[in-house]
């Protein structure tokens, strides 16, 4: 039996998390906690989390899984079975946090809802991420991040004015909800450890964080009756802000929201006269005349190569950046210097590269110890060390397909 790893100096090493979720949002919340040292136990159905069958594979090994389940341990457990439910409760006794995203009512039907689990462990913080939350007219609907992106208002403002609403090419709502969920777990843990000593239940709907991130749109509608529309890459309150194609066919993103940056941009393209032009005198004026200023920039940028454009604008202190694809991200020297892409050894794939922990704590930084584990890789270790189950106990559970 492999011994449990010794604690390290990351800030969450005293926190144990049970990740009984699937797909992306709640598991991503657990990933953020694991990045900073939380002992995250991924509780999977013996068939495996469905994310193991998502996306690309190499030699049969799921690649997205390697990122989403990094730093986690994997145990198997069938929560549909009474013995599986009983075993989870024993794990809950030794946990600080449980994250789940079963359809509303599922955990209650198993006797694993928060009131029941809080009886087992009153200090437990439980995060439930569902499509529409635990109450309300839609609470029992099935749903994924796609529905959140549609109904939050995000898709309606994404795309070109004369085109259809666009959904993102990655699970945006799930990722944002995962980050928000991790934050709210930390809020609940702080309250528990500094005030009451008691855990609590976090009810988070997938659409809610994305709705919050849409910012001004809701108060604009409330106070002015304004309904945001698709504007391509423009913003309704800042100009110039757009993407522009260069002479050599690459794309450059420019933002000149502040007056000083706009003036630097004008001087960089040898058009200081634009600074005193009444059409561009300030940001509101430029917003009203966005087509004109965008046209001027498009003409200048279109006459130069991307390297020349970026050199001129960056040397002038303007705000410009190339539009990257993932290949560009991997070879960018700034990202390399900050180790935004890190190499992790993996028993199945050898070395793998993935996004590093976001943010740097000066004394207790996060890190990635290992990529996503094999299915059930830590079953014997966790059940043996934490719960005291013997190999005979485990074999009996395997025969009954509980683990």
Please report, for the domain that includes residue 273, its CATH number: 3.30.1540.10
Spatial CA neighbour of 208 closest among 143, 152, 168: 152
Partner residues linked to 97 by β-bridges:
17, 125
**Packed helices 25-35 and 172-191: angle between N→C axes, nearest 10 degrees:** 50
Are 355 and 310 part of one and the same domain? no
- Domain of residue 23 covers 16-212+340-399
- Catalytic residue numbers read 174
CATH code at 364? 3.40.50.10540
**pLDDT (0 to 100) of residue 4:** 47
Query: Has residue 221 been placed in a domain?
Result: no
How far is residue 129's CA from residue 350's CA, in Å, rounded to a whole number? 33
Spatial CA neighbour of 164 closest among 175, 146, 150: 150
How far is residue 21's CA from residue 185's CA, in Å, rounded to a whole number? 15
Determine the length of the chain: 403
Are 312 and 346 part of one and the same domain? no
Query: Has residue 106 been placed in a domain?
Result: yes
How far is residue 279's CA from residue 270's CA, in Å, rounded to a whole number? 18
Are 292 and 362 part of one and the same domain? no
Q: Where among 280, 303, 328 does a domain terminate?
A: 328
How far is residue 127's CA from residue 245's CA, in Å, rounded to a whole number? 45
Are 166 and 270 part of one and the same domain? no
Are 303 and 167 part of one and the same domain? no
Query: Has residue 323 been placed in a domain?
Result: yes
Query: Has residue 218 been placed in a domain?
Result: no
Are 316 and 360 part of one and the same domain? no
Are 359 and 391 part of one and the same domain? yes
Q: Where among 296, 328, 360 does a domain terminate?
A: 328
**pLDDT (0 to 100) of residue 8:** 80
The overall pTM is greater than 0.75: yes
How far is residue 333's CA from residue 337's CA, in Å, rounded to a whole number? 6
Query: Has residue 107 been placed in a domain?
Result: yes
* pLDDT average per 10 residues of sequence, the chain (403 residues): 58 97 96 98 96 93 97 98 98 98 96 98 98 96 94 97 96 97 98 98 98 96 97 93 98 94 97 97 95 97 98 96 98 97 96 97 96 97 96 97 97
**pLDDT (0 to 100) of residue 257:** 82
Domain count within the chain: 2
Task: Annotate 306-342 with DSSP letters as a single string.
Answer: HHHHHHHHHHTT--EEE---HHHHHH-HHHHHTT-EE
Are 77 and 207 part of one and the same domain? yes
**pLDDT (0 to 100) of residue 400:** 97
Instruction: Name the DSSP letter for residue 238.
Output: B
Query: Has residue 32 been placed in a domain?
Result: yes
Are 292 and 191 part of one and the same domain? no
Q: Where among 283, 302, 328 does a domain terminate?
A: 328
Query: Has residue 334 been placed in a domain?
Result: no
Are 40 and 137 part of one and the same domain? yes
Structural contact between residues 400 and 81, judged by C-beta atoms closer than 8 angstroms: yes
Are 90 and 21 part of one and the same domain? yes
How far is residue 16's CA from residue 99's CA, in Å, rounded to a whole number? 11
The tokens for 180 are 């928000």
Structural contact between residues 240 and 294, judged by C-beta atoms closer than 8 angstroms: yes
Are 205 and 352 part of one and the same domain? yes
**pLDDT (0 to 100) of residue 161:** 95
How far is residue 38's CA from residue 382's CA, in Å, rounded to a whole number? 15
Query: Has residue 335 been placed in a domain?
Result: no
Q: Quickly tell me which residue has 């522009």 as its tokens.
A: 244
Q: Quickly tell me which residue has 């598991």 as its tokens.
A: 27
């Amino acid at each position: 039996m492999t011994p449990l790893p010794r604690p390290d100096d990351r800030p969450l090493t005293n926190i144990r998390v049970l990740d009984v979720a699937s797909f992306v949002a709640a598991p991503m919340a657990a990933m953020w906690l694991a990045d900073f040292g939380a002992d995250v136990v991924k509780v999977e159905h013996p068939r495996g989390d469905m994310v193991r069958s998502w996306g690309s594979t190499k030699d049969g090994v799921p690649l997205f899984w390697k990122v989403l389940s990094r730093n986690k341990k994997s145990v198997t457990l069938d929560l549909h079975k009474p013995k599986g439910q009983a075993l989870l409760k024993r794990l809950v006794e030794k946990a600080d946090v449980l994250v789940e995203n079963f359809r509303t009512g599922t955990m209650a039907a198993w006797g694993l809802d928060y009131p029941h689990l809080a009886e087992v462990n009153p200090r437990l913080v439980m995060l439930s991420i569902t499509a529409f939350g635990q109450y309300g007219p839609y609470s029992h609907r099935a749903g994924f991040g796609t529905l959140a992106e549609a109904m939050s208002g995000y898709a309606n403002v994404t795309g070109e004015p004369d085109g259809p609403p666009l959904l993102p090419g990655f699970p945006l709502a799930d990722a944002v909800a995962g980050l928000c969920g991790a934050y709210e777990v930390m809020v609940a843990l702080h309250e528990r450890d500094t005030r009451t000593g008691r855990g609590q239940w976090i009810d988070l709907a997938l659409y809610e964080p994305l709705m919050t991130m849409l910012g001004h749109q809701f108060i604009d509608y409330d106070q002015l009756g304004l309904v945001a529309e698709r504007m391509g890459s423009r913003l309704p309150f800042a100009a110039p802000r757009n993407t522009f194609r260069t002479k050599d066919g690459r794309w450059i993103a420019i933002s000149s929201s502040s007056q000083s940056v706009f003036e630097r941009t004008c001087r960089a393209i040898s058009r200081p006269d634009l600074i005193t032009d009444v059409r561009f005198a300030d940001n509101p004026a430029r917003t009203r005349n966005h087509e004109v200023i965008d046209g001027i920039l498009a003409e200048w940028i279109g006459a130069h190569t991307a390297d020349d454009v970026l050199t001129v604008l960056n040397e002038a202190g303007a705000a410009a950046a190339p539009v990257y694809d993932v290949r560009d991200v991997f070879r960018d020297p700034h990202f390399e210097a900050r180790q935004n892409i890190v190499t992790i050894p993996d028993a199945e794939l050898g070395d793998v590269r993935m996004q590093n922990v976001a943010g740097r704590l000066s004394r207790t930084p996060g890190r990635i110890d290992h990529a996503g584990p094999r299915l059930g890789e830590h079953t014997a270790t966790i059940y043996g060390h934490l719960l005291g189950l013997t190999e005979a106990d485990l074999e009996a559970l395997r025969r009954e397909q509980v683990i």
